[in-house]
Structure 1
């Protein structure tokens, strides 16, 4: 099974190699422009980061559970920044 560190590393590589900044990556995956990433938008990000389809839904749920501080079951820009800061350590 893929470890949390491997998944986070793939996300870091995706953002670093394909976007000028984490903010631009967030905006790209925020397909409906509501300034939040839904579970399906996070799954799209994970697909682009080459996370296996089998575990993509599980990982999206875990990311929401781990970083959704306001309890709306979505990831806001401020919550995304916290995740990115952890990845970059």
Structure 2
């Protein structure tokens, strides 16, 4: 299985190469426009970040588990930003 660092690095590459800002990336993947990413939306993000299909579902659950601070099984902009900040810190 890919390490957390590898997965976060692939997400960082996706956001850097395809979006002007993390906010643009969040809005792009928030298909229903509710201000939160659900599991299906996170799976799409992982697919676009070239995380293989075999582990995408497992990784999406772990991301939600790790970053969902309010316990609603969704990733809000604030929680997404926290993950992006972690990625940025690790790449310094």
TM-score normalized with structure 2 length: 0.95
Consecutive unaligned residues of structure 1, counting only runs of 5 or more, are none
> How do residues 72-83 of structure 1 correspond to structure 2 at under 5 angstroms?
72-83=72-83
Residue 47 of structure 2 corresponds to which residue in structure 1? 47
5+ long unaligned stretches in structure 2: none
Query: For this pair of structures, how many residues does the alignment match?
Result: 89
Distance 2:88 2:51 in 1: 18
Question: What is the RMSD of the two structures over their aligned residues, measured on CA atoms?
Answer: 0.4
Report how far residue 2 of structure 1 moved.
1.1
Off by >3 Å, runs of 4+ in structure 1 = none
Alignment of 1:1-89 (within 5 A): 1-89=1-89
